[in-house]
Amino acid sequence: MVGKKQIPTDQKVTLDEINSLIKHENNSRVLKSLYFIKFRLSGDSVEEATTKVGVTKKTGYYWQEKWNKGDYTALTPNFGGGRKSKLTDEQIKELRALLENKVYWTTREVMELIKEKYGIEYSQKQIGVILHSFNMYHSKPYTFDYRRPENAEEILKKLAEAVPKYIDPNKQYIIGFLDESSPQKKANTQRLWLFKKPLMIKNTDYIKANAFAFYSINGNNFIDFMELSKAENVCEFLEKIVEHNQKKRIILVLDNSKSRHADKTIKKARELKNTCVPSSLFTRLKSG
């Protein structure tokens, strides 16, 4: 085989050992070179092996020469003599401390901070390298509504435990959530840098679009646009939920919106008692 003789036959490295190195290698360049060596030891020529890993023959011969001189350790790049970081070790430590004083950062904010404090300009890519070395997260924060009660999960569990007390086991029930969707004023699309799991607590007030929806676990879902979000509109939507789930009693899970628990809404739910579990049930659950 062409070029085969250039891999020494006295090397005591098996293909299994090569496969093990490949499995645990994180450096993409070294990984390519290991695959090249594997193909060469399996009988491929330099040309065939380099074609498989997508490099030039010149690179293949370079890897082969390094392998022949020192096996795997010779393939591992040594950056010890490369250009040093523009920031000194002391400045790196100081930068990390500064970043820890704020919950989250954008890449541009970090760039401007380094330029202003140290007079050094980095590319966005290099900023990312530095922040990743700090083990910072880079993702879109999970939005946490500031109005959510601290015991939200406890309230839901309480509801799940109480519902069976109010239903007839001999009748068929539909369980569903009634909610309203509206667009937010602020988008939640920007990726931010944080030291902890991404979480952003912010004001999530809405621009009203009044899209009402019934999300059912075992019934018919329904979505409609209402003119307003008042109790009258909730009552109208309750009637439509019943229309789409006839001859079945409905258990509604509601949020704390005033229009959902208004006297007018409760009255409408009672009028629909043959098909709708009164929403006052959930008011009682909420209050304990």
What residues pair up with 224 in beta bridges, in sequence order? Answer: 212
- Residue 2, amino acid: V
Q: What is the pLDDT of residue 93?
A: 92
| pTM value > 0.75 | no
The yes-or-no verdict on residue 279 having pLDDT over 70 is no
Q: What is the pLDDT of residue 10?
A: 47
Measured between alpha carbons, how far is 131 from 87 in angstroms, rounded to an integer? Answer: 13
- % of the chain exceeding 70 in pLDDT: 72
- % of the chain exceeding 90 in pLDDT: 8
Q: Give me the residue label for tokens 């789409």.
A: 244
Q: What is the pLDDT of residue 207?
A: 60
Read off the pLDDT of residues 222-267 as tens digits, 9 standing for 90 and up: 899 888 888 899 999 999 998 888 877 888 888 778 888 888 888 8
The DSSP output letter for 158 is H
Phi first, then psi, for residue 111 (nearest 5°) are -60, -45
The yes-or-no verdict on residue 163 having pLDDT over 50 is yes
Read off the pLDDT of residues 181-193 as tens digits, 9 standing for 90 and up: 766 566 555 677 7
Q: Could you tell me which residues come within 8 angstroms of residue 37 by beta carbon, excluding any fewer than 6 positions away?
A: 7, 18, 63, 64, 67, 75
- Residue 256, amino acid: N
Read off the pLDDT of residues 90-128 as tens digits, 9 standing for 90 and up: 999 999 999 998 888 889 899 999 988 888 888 888 898
Q: Average pLDDT for residues 31-59, to the nearest whole number? A: 88
User: Is domain 145-287 annotated with CATH 3.30.420?
Assistant: yes
Helices (H), the chain: 15-24, 28-41, 46-53, 57-75, 89-99, 107-118, 124-133, 152-162, 231-244, 263-271, 280-287
Q: Could you tell me which residues come within 8 angstroms of residue 279 by beta carbon, excluding any fewer than 6 positions away?
A: 252, 254, 260, 261, 265, 266, 269
Read off the pLDDT of residues 57-86 as tens digits, 9 standing for 90 and up: 888 888 888 888 776 666 766 555 545 558
Q: Give me the residue label for tokens 């006297």.
A: 263
Q: Average pLDDT for residues 162-180, to the nearest whole number? A: 76
The per-residue pLDDT of the chain, averaged, comes to 77
CA distances 160 to 147, 179, 249, 254, Å, are 22, 18, 17, 13
Domain boundaries, the chain: 4-75, 89-135, 145-287
Q: Could you tell me which residues come within 8 angstroms of residue 255 by beta carbon, excluding any fewer than 6 positions away?
A: 179
| 3-class DSSP state of 28 | helix
Measured between alpha carbons, how far is 91 from 84 in angstroms, rounded to an integer? Answer: 13
Q: Give me the residue label for tokens 């003789």.
A: 5
Q: What is the pLDDT of residue 283?
A: 42
CA-only gyration radius of the chain, Å:
32
